[in-house]
Structure 1
Amino acid sequence: MQTKHNYIIVFLVFTFITSLTSLEPLHAQDDRFVVVLDAGHGGGDSGNIGNGYREKNIALKVTLQVGNALEKNPNIKVIYTRKTDVFIPLHKRATIANKADADLFVSIHCNAHGSQASGTETWVLGERNMARNFEVAKRENEVIFLEDNYEENYAGFDPSSPESTIAIGIEQEVYVEQSIILARKIEDNFIKKAKRKSRGLKQESLLVIRNTYMPSILVELGFLTNKKEGAYLNTKKGQSKMASAIKEAIIDYKKELDQNIGSYILGVDNDTKSIEVEEPIVIKGVTFKVQIAASSKALAPKAYNFKGLSGISRAKIGKIYKYFSGNTSDYTKVKKLQNEAKSKGYKDAFIVAYKNGNKIDVSDALKSASN
């Protein structure tokens, strides 16, 4: 009887362990990196029709190619806002990404201009260059007038109002940094791998990415109104080249997050000029730190995880963990900590400043050094 009882216990334990093992792949699937791909326009909204090419069709073809390539990676889950020629309201595109708890939102478009302008652009949310770039935001945003109940869905947003577009960027401030990293990777790939002219990274308040709660970008593949560029984007070869450049940038972006690489950290303070002084520069009420890494991994803030650097701290913003070294009001000391981090392999480590718990520009903090 006792032997039978022992067999039952062994069987139950074995069954329990087996169930854990069988559930592991499911758990891994749930943890996949989620990318939402958005083909611009669609249905009754053709987008621009420069030289007779329809933006909605080219955007969809490139988007599907990007998705098909990403889906070959078992650690990536791809979700599309549309896979056919249908019109999806802008607010629903953001909702799709938010419900999926996505890690990235990438919207793909083609550009237009009254001249023979050419070149790629990748946009992130921002308030810079409003006067010069407002017309771009207005053109991409005014598609909301094709939607039913747009007044209700967009809470009084008016694409013709600069005040409305300025207000958009506030909601996504925490994701702008990561968005810029991906945008730069895409533009670099357009230049180096697709051999295209790049007009660079742009910042503007584009409605399609205003309510996405993750790093989000809008890619302009080129100008259909440019005779040569429009023809290129309408070819299978051109579409394949552009899709490959975007796909590889996303893969590279994910790899850096997964591996906790600190060698490519973007920050507005990267170009802060060094102050070569030995005397302490203590600024009361300001705390300086050195950002050394940004990652999707929640590593313990211990020296052994960061090549022996001391005073490690961690902050979570969205799904991204940022890691810092040091905590001091002495700018001279934090510069030494930055040099130490660079000497240990964090070559793009940069200084950040906080006042009353809020991040401020380092340059603003230094202005008070003489007070």
Structure 2
Amino acid sequence: MGRLFQILFIFAALTCQYTGAEAKDFVLVIDAGHGGHDYGAVGDKTNEKSINLSVALKFGRLVKQHHKDVKVVYTRDGDYFKTLQQRAEIANKASGDLFVSIHTNSVDKRNKNRRKIKGTATYTLGLHRSAENLDVAKRENAVMMLEDDFTATYQGFDPNSTESYIIFELSQNKHMDQSIDFASKVQSEMVSTAGRHDNGVRQAGFWVLAKTGMPAVLVELDFICNPVSERFLGSEKGQTKFAKAIYNAFTSYKTAYDHSSGGRPVSGGDAPLFTDDDSDDEDDDMTDDIACNDGELRYRIQILASDVKLKSGSSQFKGLNNVDNYYDGGLYKYTVGDYTSMDEALRELKKVRSKHHEAFVITMRDGKRVK
């Protein structure tokens, strides 16, 4: 009997080794929004579809270069049209582990702040908690109306009807935690690496996110309707910085994924991270338009969010000073520091990230976050 157990033990060990060797690559699906006859948002000199594709391909190349165990799948790798449904089907067929949809933002021509509004926002699927979030979702979902008989393909969904979005409010996304985690990392990198204004992690009803069976985010890089932002969006330097920012977020996310997957090699350990190495670039509009009254604005470093209030002596705060919190979107959000300038906050951010990799800088006024 002892000999039998020994044989079974050896067989189990060999089986585990074989299984580990055959572990599938991490599949990253990169979705460049719009394409072909669908230009997306249009600026004075360029258009959304071209910006999205350039950033997507640059991001994909960085991942391929530094993460050998990652398979990159593009929903489009050229200037051609793919429907929202086709994009989701490509991701699902590839058994994706993460879906990143890249877009460029804009607002209606009647908006009086059209040429001043700016900043990056990263969306996950969920309730659109503001009219602004709903407007973004409507604009991105409206691409389905370019298709023949889109109501049949999208089961009667009308992207311009507020009532249609009830389906997203009823949707339970089992990947929500991972999606929010990655979205937070993207936002942090957009500030520290790409030098963008932080418009926060948001939730809204995007069809392409709802139909992908994996953690998924939609990144709105910046506002093409703002001439300063458009210049950055359309430049080689700007697009490279966007790609590096999303790549850094992916590397951080992938490293945590490897640690939690048990037995997988941690690929992120050898992958380089990029920083904003050209802070004097005239297109890097780090200074907020709203900051003309500089004395009212403060900058803090957000380290985590929780649905329950943590005790002041929590281990999460070990080694940190000046910890504070604010309540927003149903969560207690914890910050450290209180800085008068973004530059000062960004310098401290590098230190804080040694303990909290997902930390990012936020702007506060009168104890409330400015979004």
Counterpart residue type for residue 106 of structure 1:
V
Q: Which AA in structure 2 matches 1:198?
A: D
State the SS of the aligned residue for 1:174.
coil
- Per the alignment, residue 84 of structure 1 pairs with 78
Match of 2:258 in 1: 258
Matching residue within 21, 25, 31 for 1:38: 31
For structure 1, the 5+ residue unaligned runs are 1-19, 277-337, 346-360, 364-371
Decide whether aligned partners of structure 1 residues 194 and 265 sit closer, same or farther in structure 2, where only a CA change above 3 A counts. Answer: closer
Residue identity over aligned pairs, in percent, reads 41
Q: Which residue of 2 aligns with 1:240?
A: 240
Question: Alignment partner of 2:148: what SS?
Answer: coil
Q: Is the 8 A contact 1:125 1:172 kept in 2?
A: no
Alignment CA distance shift 1:48-1:260 (3 Å)? same
Task: Look up the match of 1:59.
Answer: 52
For residue 102 of structure 1, give the secondary structure of its aligned residue in structure 2. Answer: coil
Deviation at 1:151, TM superposition (A): 1.6
- 8 Å CA contact 1:123, 1:217 repeated in 2: yes
Aligned equivalents of 2:134, 2:331: Cα separation in 1: 29
Cα distance change of structure 1 residues 266 and 213 upon mapping to structure 2, 3 Å threshold: farther
Which position in structure 1 is the counterpart of 2:345?
A: none
Q: Which residue of 1 aligns with 2:361?
A: none
Matches within 5 A, 1:198-209: 198-209=198-209
Deviations 1:284-304 (A, max 9, x none): xxxxxxxxxxxxxxxxxxxxx
1:193-228 per-position Cα deviation (integer Å, ceiling 9, x unaligned)? 222212111110012211011111110111111001
Q: Report the secondary structure of 1:43's partner residue.
A: coil
| Distance 1:131-1:146 versus aligned 2 partners, 3 A rule | same
Among 13, 22, 26, the residue aligned to 1:27? 22
Q: Is the 1:98–1:212 contact (alpha carbons within 8 Å) kept by the matching residues of 2? A: yes
Pair 1:257–1:205, CA change in 2 (3 A): same
Residue number among 87, 109, 112 corresponding to 2:106 in the alignment: 112
1:174 equivalent in structure 2: 174
Q: Distance in 1 between matches of 2:118 and 2:62?
A: 27
C-alpha distance in 1, partners of 2:20/2:260? 23
In 1, Cα distance between equivalents of 2:169 and 2:257: 24
**What is the match of residue 197 of structure 1?**
197
Change (3 A) 1:343 1:121: closer
Instruction: Name the counterpart of 2:69.
Output: 75
- Equivalent residue number for residue 296 of structure 1: none
Runs of 4+ in 1 over 3 A off after TM superposition: 23-26, 169-172, 264-268, 341-345
Amino acid at match of 1:41: H
Distance 2:238 2:171 in 1: 35
- Whether 1:269 and 2:307 are equivalent positions in the alignment is yes
- Give the Cα–Cα distance (whole angstroms) in 1 for the partners of residues 307 and 179 of structure 2: 17
Rounded Cα–Cα distance in structure 2 between residues aligned with 1:265 and 1:110: 27
- The one-letter code sitting in structure 2 at the alignment partner of 1:34 is V
Alpha-carbon distance between aligned partners in 2 of 1:137 and 1:170, rounded to the nearest angstrom: 16
The whole-number CA distance in structure 2 between the counterparts of 1:252 and 1:33 is 14
Deviations 1:163-213 (A, max 9, x none): 222312533422122111111101100111222212111110012211011
- Matched residue SS, 2:22: helix
Q: Is the 8 A contact 1:181 1:266 kept in 2?
A: no
Q: Secondary structure at the residue paired with 1:84?
A: coil
**2:92 alignment partner AA:** N
- How many residue pairs were aligned? 263
Deviation at 1:342, TM superposition (A): 5.5
The CA RMSD over aligned residues, in Å, is: 3.1
Larger Rg: 1
> What are the within-5 Å matches in structure 2 for residues 309-320 of structure 1?
none
Q: CA deviation at 1:259?
A: 1.4
Unaligned runs of 5+ in 2: 1-14, 262-301, 320-329, 333-371
Q: Is the 8 A contact 2:306 2:331 kept in 1?
A: no
Q: TM-score, normalised by structure 2?
A: 0.64
Partner-residue secondary structure (3-state), 2:211? coil
Structure 1 residues 60, 342: closer, same or farther in 2, change over 3 A?
closer
